[in-house]
Structure 1
Amino acid sequence: MSQPEFTGETKVEKSGLRRICLMGLGWVCIFLGVIGIVLPLLPTTPFLLVALWAFSRSSIRFHNWLYTHKYLGPMVQDWNKFRVIPMKAKILAVTMMSASLALVTYKGILPLWGLILVGLSLSCVAFFIIKCPSLRPDKVPE
């Protein structure tokens, strides 16, 4: 089995507190991502992407382990190569953003200008998520 190519940038810290914190963040995100596989309201891929980023800055070994993992690797590889966001993740993300905005509006936590700013920010993120493909180009039905 050939190793997939990683096209991203890695800048590994040699030692120190920052490296330890990044490795800890990576493992926490992997833990949350694995939980997200079985819990429908917790997304998996974003946590794995954050873990991959954290490992790219702290440990080449763990970065390569995650990127080539039998079960977790394909999710991050699809994002890295094709910028694919699965339809389930898109629906969940947009729904949760909408629910968050509705809750903030209902509770009256922010002034009007704050609601507008949050609404515009969430709209931009939702637009980005929606415009990303849902399937890899080699898996699109003809």
Structure 2
Amino acid sequence: MTEVAFHFNAPDKLGYACRLLRKAYGTGAQVVVTGEPEVLRELDVNLWTFGSLEFVPHCLGTERDERVQARTPIVLSGLPRSSPHQQVLVNLGHEVPEGFERFERLIEVVTNDGADRQQARARWKHYADRGYAIVRHDLAEQR
């Protein structure tokens, strides 16, 4: 069963996602990031400019060559179900990601914005109602 973790109180969702993906890449994890198309495009740009001395290899899920996606450790995709990776799914979106249950881990990134928190509560309830154990990480406590 998928391990579900909520990372609450991210001051900047995309900035936090960049740090999270850098760490995941460092451990050798294969990650799919999902969310709205405009968020994924912005994350793509941020990953290219995140650190001047660091490179976080990634590709967009729209890459037509499936071999590129399979060989790239981080795939940004609005359709995580079609990704070749099944290890970690990071959700930057507002909905329960379709096909999340095929991943070993799901990480939900939530800001302190009221609307974002409300939508996160609905996703939490969705996972809890289906018997998923949920881990809560309060990022405000880690600062």
- What is the TM-score normalised by the length of structure 1? 0.28
Tell me which protein shows more helix as a share of its residues.
1
- What is the TM-score normalised by the length of structure 2? 0.28
- Flag the structure with larger Rg: 1
Tell me which protein shows more strand as a share of its residues.
2
Higher relative contact order (CA 8 A, sep 6+): 2
